[in-house]
């Protein structure tokens, strides 16, 4: 009890209103953060191991981006150990301002990598469906590695001005008091991030998936018309299988992208409102932040439930672990 009271005195518990209520809320926050940290690390380690154990997954060029997202989400979970350890055992020797800046910067960079990877995945699937004959010449392993390197470099650079006093990189739901009271958001920096990251990624994803599903609908309609004209024709099945795997895989990736934006949209909206000084609510700040961070675990669940090859690799990994035990 005394340790929890000590935590509530040193840390910013944004959902607490009364003294004893603040202690209860601090315990709730600690449970949420510890649980998310464990799930994110365990889930993404599983994804990384399955990709190494399932060679068929490497036949998709998007596996480069999926693995990059898994590593980025894994580092998100490792970074979340900072607030987790701070809540469980407060260390007075840590420079609070530097810890807040570094933690906020790292989280923002890692989630920027995930967002950029989702945009690149949508472009990759768009090219696979619209240019199937020249796809292998356009998308090569060398170009994919260069693209991933540029994603990391761009994500590191775009949030760098926050270290020079130009606003907050986007982390809310502050655990440390300094983050909540002394490190304020800036409307111009927020607009800068939105224009150079959030808006372009969302536009690319909407454009590519709109055309992907438009082409898939046209293809399905053509197959239906052909079957209506030639009900006994045997070539329809062969024509359908050409785009069916790409369509199914695009649906898997579309689910991952949709969940990403559903979980991140409240955070982005609150980020904009707080930067404009329209709304400032510690409870919303905490909830939207950790709802967005929970996406790092949701990717693992969606991929494992939607992709049959991934499930096969996960089954083999589980059998290997169980047999060794």
CATH 1.20.1070.10, applies to 27-227+245-324: yes
pTM: 0.77
Q: Write down the pLDDT at residue 245.
A: 58
pLDDT in tens, the chain (325 residues): 444 444 444 444 544 444 446 566 677 777 888 888 888 898 888 888 887 776 656 666 777 888 888 899 899 888 887 776 766 655 545 577 777 888 888 888 988 998 898 889 889 888 888 888 888 888 888 898 999 999 999 999 999 888 787 888 876 556 667 777 778 788 888 888 889 988 898 899 888 888 888 887 787 777 777 776 766 654 444 444 444 555 666 677 777 778 888 888 888 888 888 878 788 777 788 888 888 888 888 877 776 666 666 777 777 777 777 777 6
Q: At what angle do helices 282-293 and 19-53 cross, to 10 degrees?
A: 10
3-state secondary structure the chain: CHHHHHHHHHECCCCCCCHHHHHHHHHHHHHHHHHHHHHHHHHHHHHHHHHHHCHHHHHCCCHHHHHHHHHHHHHHHHHCHHHHHHHHCCCCCCCHHHHHHHHHHHHHHHHHHHHHHHHHHHHHHHHHHHCCCCHHHHCCHHHHHHHHHHHHHHHHHHCHHHHHCCCCCCCCCCCEHHHHHCCCCCHHHHHHHHHHHHHHHHHHHHHHHHHHHHHHHHHHHHHHHHHHHCCCCCHHHHHHHCCHHHHHHHHHHHHHHHHHHHHHHHHHHHHHHHHCCCCCCHHHHHHHHHHHHCHHHHHHHHHHHHCHHHHHHHHHHHHHHHHHC
How long is the chain? 325
Asked if 59 contacts 43 with a C-beta cutoff of 8 angstroms, the reply is: no
Phi, psi of 176 (to 5 degrees): -85, 145
Residues 200 and 158: beta-carbon distance below 8 Å: no
pLDDT of the residue at 108: 87
Per the DSSP assignment, residues forming a β-bridge with 11 are: 176
Distance in angstroms (rounded) separating the CA atoms of residues 161 and 187 = 14
The pLDDT of residue 238: 43
Please give the pLDDT value at position 3: 43
Q: What gap in Å lies between CA 210 and CA 179, rounded to an integer?
A: 40
pLDDT given at position 48:
83
Residue 241's beta-bridge partner residues? Answer: none
Q: Which residues partner with 176 through β-bridges?
A: 11
CA 106 – CA 152 distance, rounded (Å)? 12
């Amino acid at each position: 009890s005394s340790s929890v009271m000590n935590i509530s005195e040193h840390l910013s518990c944004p959902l607490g209103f009364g003294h004893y209520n603040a202690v209860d809320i601090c315990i709730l926050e600690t449970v949420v953060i510890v649980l998310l940290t464990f799930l994110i690390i365990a889930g993404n380690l599983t994804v990384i191991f399955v990709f190494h154990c399932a060679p068929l997954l490497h036949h998709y060029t998007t596996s480069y981006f999926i693995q990059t997202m898994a590593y980025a989400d894994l580092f998100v979970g490792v970074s979340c150990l900072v607030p987790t350890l701070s809540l469980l055992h407060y260390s007075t020797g840590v420079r609070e301002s530097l810890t807040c800046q570094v933690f906020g910067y790292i989280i923002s960079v890692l989630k920027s990598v995930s967002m950029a990877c989702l945009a690149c995945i949508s472009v990759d699937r768009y090219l696979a469906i619209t240019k199937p004959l020249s796809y292998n010449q356009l998308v090569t392993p060398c170009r994919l590695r260069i693209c991933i390197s540029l994603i990391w470099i761009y994500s590191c650079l775009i949030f760098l001005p926050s270290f020079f006093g130009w606003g907050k990189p986007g982390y809310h739901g502050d655990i440390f008091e300094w983050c909540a009271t002394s490190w304020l958001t800036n409307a111009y920096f927020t607009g800068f991030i939105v224009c150079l990251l959030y808006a372009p990624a969302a536009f690319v994803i909407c454009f590519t998936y709109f055309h992907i599903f438009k082409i898939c609908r046209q293809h399905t309609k053509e197959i239906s018309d052909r079957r209506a004209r030639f009900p006994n024709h045997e070539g329809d099945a062969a024509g359908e299988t050409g785009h069916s795997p790409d369509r199914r895989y695009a649906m898997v990736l579309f689910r991952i992208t949709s969940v990403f934006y559903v979980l991140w949209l409240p955070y982005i909206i609150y980020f904009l409102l707080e930067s404009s000084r329209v709304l400032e609510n510690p409870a919303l700040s905490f909830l939207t932040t950790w709802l967005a961070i929970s996406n790092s675990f949701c990717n693992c669940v969606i991929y494992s439930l939607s992709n049959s090859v991934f499930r096969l690799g996960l089954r083999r990994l589980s059998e290997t672990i169980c047999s060794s035990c």
